[in-house]
């Protein structure tokens, strides 16, 4: 996310810990989620998810958070014949869809129906973490706490792949990206009960937790970003 031009869309820091509101309910969108995505953004969200896929063939244990109906999880399993995946989602219907989609590789997938804001990793051996269009459902403080937990659950050579929306600098960001993202938040608020209304500063959250941004690609004039983060040795 471009943090230099997002002042109107970045959550302010909160000094106090508050009880997390209920997780949004994506259950009734599980069957139509793919078509909603294609109707609104065509192939571009899928292209963002797969931006670094060819480079993930060496991963052996992956944590995939909020992959929805499992399209990326299925692609990763097909690309990497050795990886074992823990798939986490608060929606049981989405996890059911993920398991159906990954049927051919079911033995390499373990699902966890839980709220990522509260879930504690059982293993400290992940060499790949994936969050595609997931962090935008969290506040900056929630991203910060999640990143801190995951930093202690990954190997020193791990990779964290992030796909997200962003508000780029300039006229396009101000006139197109900003109102479009606001519209998406309002729509998902109605459809799922999502209470977040602005993009978190996930850059700050990941850096504070000890991760460093290694690579970044953009699409649709900067509206969509794909990023690769790694743990800093000195963190």
Buried b (16+ CB within 10 A) or exposed e, 18-51: eeeeebbebeebbeebbeebeeebeeebbbbbbb
Domain for residue 151, yes or no? Answer: yes
Strands (E), the chain: 61-65, 84-89, 109-113, 126-132, 154-165, 211-219, 224-231
Regions in the chain scoring below 70 on pLDDT: 1-20, 123-124, 235
Domain for residue 165, yes or no? Answer: yes
Q: Does pTM top 0.85 for this prediction?
A: yes
* pLDDT tens digits, 180-193: 999 999 999 999 99
Q: Could you tell me the two tokens for 133?
A: 């269009």
Q: Which domain holds residue 46?
A: 27-231
Provide the pLDDT for residue 21: 75
CATH of the domain at 57: 3.40.50.150
Domain for residue 203, yes or no? Answer: yes
Domain for residue 80, yes or no? Answer: yes
Domain for residue 1, yes or no? Answer: no
Provide the pLDDT for residue 11: 43
Provide the pLDDT for residue 168: 95
Domain for residue 8, yes or no? Answer: no
Burial of 94 (0-12, 13-18, 19+ CB in 10 A): buried
Which residues face 231 on adjacent strands? 211
The answer to whether residues 153 and 147 touch, using CB atoms and an 8 Å cutoff, is no
Number of structural domains the chain divides into: 1
Domain for residue 227, yes or no? Answer: yes
Q: How far is CA 143 from CA 83, 116, 137, 203, in A?
A: 25, 10, 9, 9
Provide the pLDDT for residue 22: 83
Domain for residue 36, yes or no? Answer: yes
Provide the pLDDT for residue 14: 42
* Pairwise CA distance, residues 223 & 191, whole Å: 22
């Amino acid at each position: 996310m471009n943090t230099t031009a997002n002042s109107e869309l970045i959550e302010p820091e909160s000094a106090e810990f508050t009880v997390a509101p209920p997780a949004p309910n994506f259950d009734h969108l599980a069957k139509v989620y793919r078509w909603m995505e294609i109707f609104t953004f065509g192939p571009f969200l899928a292209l963002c998810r797969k931006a670094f896929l060819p480079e993930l063939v060496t991963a052996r244990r992956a944590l995939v958070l909020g992959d929805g109906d499992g399209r990326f999880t299925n692609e990763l399993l097909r690309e990497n014949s050795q990886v074992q995946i823990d798939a986490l989602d608060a929606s049981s219907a989405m996890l059911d869809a993920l398991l159906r989609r990954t049927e051919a590789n079911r033995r390499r997938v373990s699902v966890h129906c839980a709220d990522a804001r509260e879930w504690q990793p059982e293993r400290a051996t992940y060499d790949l973490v994936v969050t595609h269009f997931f962090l935008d459902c969290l506040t900056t403080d929630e991203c910060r706490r999640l990143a801190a937990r995951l930093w202690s659950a990954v190997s020193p050579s791990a990779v964290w792949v992030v796909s997200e929306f962003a508000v780029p600098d300039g006229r396009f960001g101000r006139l197109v990206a900003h109102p479009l993202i606001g519209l998406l938040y309002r729509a998902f608020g109605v459809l799922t009960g999502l209470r977040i209304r602005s993009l978190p500063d996930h850059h700050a959250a990941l850096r504070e937790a000890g991760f460093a941004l290694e690579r970044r690609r953009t699409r649709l004039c900067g509206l969509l970003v794909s990023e690769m983060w790694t743990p800093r040795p000195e963190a």
